[in-house]
Amino acid sequence: MRIHFGLDTRATPQQVLEAFTDVSDRRLEVWSQTLDPAKYEVREQGEGWAVIREGSAGVPFWVLLRYEWPTPDRVTWTLLDSDHCDRGTGDVRITPRADGGSHLDVTVHHSGGRGLRGRVVLLLQRLLGPVAFPRTWRAALDRVAG
């Protein structure tokens, strides 16, 4: 399953980078509409990377992701474990806009649905993700911009 989308936000590139890379409790505030505090756990972190277990509120699924931010304009993740799929990666490219905001170019790859449940989750992500992800991400990032 591959999802690709772009979105514009009022948040500056620095605010976007911080929203994706701040693994403190503030992450739960920024992404309050999508992260379930009960599933959130920072397992490891270092300079330019973090391993985080997270999942969305209202659904029983979770993922263990290794986030990396090799440059100020890019955040990537690799799926290390999940209860519904075997493999996954993601890539967010952040470009400044002339009005002070940012444009994000996002690609997500997930595959290897585990059982019927996993295949259904991946199908729903493929169908709903291109609309739902940009909408919820833009709302969170615009809140960060104030």
User: Cβ contacts of residue 73 below 8 Å, gap of 6+?
Assistant: 13, 17, 93, 94, 95
pTM, two decimals, is 0.93
Task: Give the span between the Cα atoms of 121 and 114, in whole angstroms.
Answer: 9
Each of the 146 residues of the chain gets a pLDDT tens digit; together they read: 899 999 999 999 999 999 999 999 999 999 999 999 999 999 999 999 999 999 988 888 999 999 999 999 999 999 999 999 999 999 999 999 999 999 999 999 988 888 888 888 888 888 999 999 999 999 999 999 99
Residue 131: CATH number of its domain: 3.30.530.20
Domain count, the chain: 1
Task: Give the span between the Cα atoms of 93 and 7, in whole angstroms.
Answer: 11
Element housing 85 (H / E): strand 85-96
**Which residues span the domain enclosing 45?**
2-145
